């Protein structure tokens, strides 16, 4: 694919990803910050996460069916902009924000996976800026200084750029593998690993992250981990990089969560797996990259669900974190090895 097409699309969609996530979280927490103790505030956070993540498989299927990832991304961006105008109506604002977020993520995800050509690097680079947007949006929303018009102008500009970009060629669906037993097993193992990543990411207790400088460094570690995970995986092998990242992260996140430097390193290593699981699930569902992207999002929100229940006291315990990551290692290794052995895998999957 033309290098200019790749760079222009990846730049616009990656930066818009950060902008959309910042606008969504700023909108959500600008509402919640008015009265954090109100029971409705907890409901709005859950409502947003369900809409933003759990609806992505459906929107992904629609984007695949009608070959409309750009339409999904553009309409999602416009909905997020519109949501900032209805803050006095919290339920409506959060509902529009969640749906807009889901549409954009699916659309941009499909574009990044089409550009990727079976490699993990580009989807990782597309997803990575989202962590920066989340941190920025959380700061703006909680500060009490949320202003809608800068977000609206930037989101409108981003939507215009996405419409004008050269579009990647569509990928025609091909039949699923005949051995559906192994096919389903590989998908299940990979999605279990993603689910656990969602649980650990939400449950992990880092008592020092309220310090602004350390929070910035922590956010940078998440961004770099997701961005470099695919690059390193393509270079040295998906299995080698993703599994080694989890193995090395386990003691750092379990026993040294109170030590900023070691915990930040652990977070970086932990996030190396994201682009590898994403591209592998997508490769298992050729021509259905929107649905594949949505499945990983659904797995994340399922993993995060215990945090919103009394189980959060259990899932945040170091022993639970340790056990969960070990299970994730086994599931990820098993899924990647089965994928490599049973299906037509790119060379980068070996290792």
pLDDT single digits (tens) 94-116: 999 999 999 999 999 999 999 99
Q: Does 181 or 216 have the greater pLDDT score? A: 216
DSSP for residue 228: H
Confidence of residue 179 (pLDDT cuts 50, 70, 90): low
Q: What is the pTM of this model?
A: 0.94
SS3 27: helix
pLDDT-derived band at 287 (thresholds 50, 70, 90) equals confident
Q: How far apart are CA 4 and CA 317, in angstroms?
A: 47
Structural tokens at position 167: 């579009």
End-to-end CA distance of the chain: 27
Gap between the Cα atoms of 193 and 149, Å rounded: 39
Helices and strands, number each (H, E), in the chain: 16, 0
Percent of the chain at pLDDT > 70 equals 94
Contact 34, 28 (CB under 8 A): no
72 touches 59 (CB < 8 A): yes
* Residue 195 pLDDT greater than 60, yes or no: yes
- Answer whether CATH 3.40.960.10 is correct for domain 180-349: no
Q: What is the DSSP letter of 166?
A: P
**Mean per-residue pLDDT, 161-178:** 76
| Torsion angle of C-alpha atoms 343, 344, 349, 351, degrees rounded to 10 | 70
pLDDT at 231 over 60: yes
Contact 257, 206 (CB under 8 A): yes
CA 167 – CA 4 distance, rounded (Å) = 11
Average pLDDT of the residues in 225-245: 97
Name the DSSP letter for residue 309. S
Residue-averaged pLDDT of the chain: 92
Tell me how far apart the alpha carbons of residues 59 and 199 are, in angstroms, rounded to a whole number. 23
* pLDDT average, residue stretch 275-280: 96
Cα 243 from Cα 137, distance rounded (Å): 31
Instruction: State the sign of the Cα–Cα–Cα–Cα dihedral 73, 79, 84, 89.
Output: negative
Give the residue from 27, 163, 195, 15 showing the smallest Cα distance to 98. Answer: 27
The pLDDT value given to residue 170: 63
pLDDT above 80 for 269: yes
Q: Please report the pLDDT score of residue 273 as a whole number.
A: 97
Check pLDDT > 90 for residue 246.
yes
| Distance (Å, whole) CA 350 – CA 92 | 47
Could you tell me which residues come within 8 angstroms of residue 235 by beta carbon, excluding any fewer than 6 positions away? Answer: 348
* Residue 163 Cα distances to 13, 51, 155, 238, angstroms: 11, 25, 13, 33
C-alpha atoms less than 13 angstroms from C-alpha of 111 in its C-beta half-sphere: 33
Give the long-range contacts of residues 176-182, CB within 8 A, separation 24 or more. 176/285, 177/342, 177/343, 179/342, 182/338, 182/342, 182/343
């Amino acid at each position: 694919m033309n290098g200019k097409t790749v760079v222009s699309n990846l730049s616009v969609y990656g930066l818009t990803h950060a902008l959309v996530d910042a606008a969504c979280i700023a909108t959500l927490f600008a509402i919640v910050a008015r009265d954090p103790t109100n029971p409705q505030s907890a409901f709005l956070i859950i409502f947003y996460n369900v809409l933003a993540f759990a609806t992505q498989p459906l929107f992904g299927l629609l984007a695949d069916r009608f070959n409309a990832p750009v339409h999904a991304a553009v309409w999602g961006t416009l909905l997020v902009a519109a949501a900032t105008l209805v803050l006095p109506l919290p339920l409506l604002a959060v509902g529009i924000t969640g749906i807009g977020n889901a549409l954009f993520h699916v659309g941009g995800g499909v574009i990044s996976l089409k550009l990727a050509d079976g490699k993990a690097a580009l989807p990782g680079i597309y997803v990575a800026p989202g962590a920066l947007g989340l941190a920025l949006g959380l700061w703006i929303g909680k500060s009490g200084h949320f202003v809608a018009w800068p977000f609206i102008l930037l989101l409108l500009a981003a939507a215009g750029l996405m419409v004008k970009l050269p579009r990647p060629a569509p990928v025609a669906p091909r039949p699923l593998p005949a051995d559906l037993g192994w096919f389903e097993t590989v998908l299940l193992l990979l999605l279990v690993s993603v689910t656990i990543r969602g649980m650990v990411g939400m449950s992990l207790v880092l008592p020092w992250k309220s310090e602004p400088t350390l929070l910035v460094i922590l956010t940078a570690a998440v961004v770099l981990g997701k961005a470099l995970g695919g690059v390193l995986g393509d270079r040295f092998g998906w299995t080698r990089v993703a599994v080694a990242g989890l193995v090395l992260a386990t003691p750092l996140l379990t026993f040294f969560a109170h030590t900023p430097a070691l915990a930040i390193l652990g977070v970086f290593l932990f996030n190396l797996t994201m682009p590898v699981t994403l591209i592998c699930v997508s490769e298992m569902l050729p021509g259905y990259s929107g649905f594949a992207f949505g499945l990983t999002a659904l797995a994340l929100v399922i993993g995060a669900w215990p945090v919103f229940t009394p189980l959060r006291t259990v899932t945040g315990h170091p022993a639970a974190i340790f056990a969960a990551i070990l299970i994730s290692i086994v599931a990820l290794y098993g899924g990647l090895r089965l994928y490599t052995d049973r299906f037509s895998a790119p060379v980068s999957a070996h290792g």
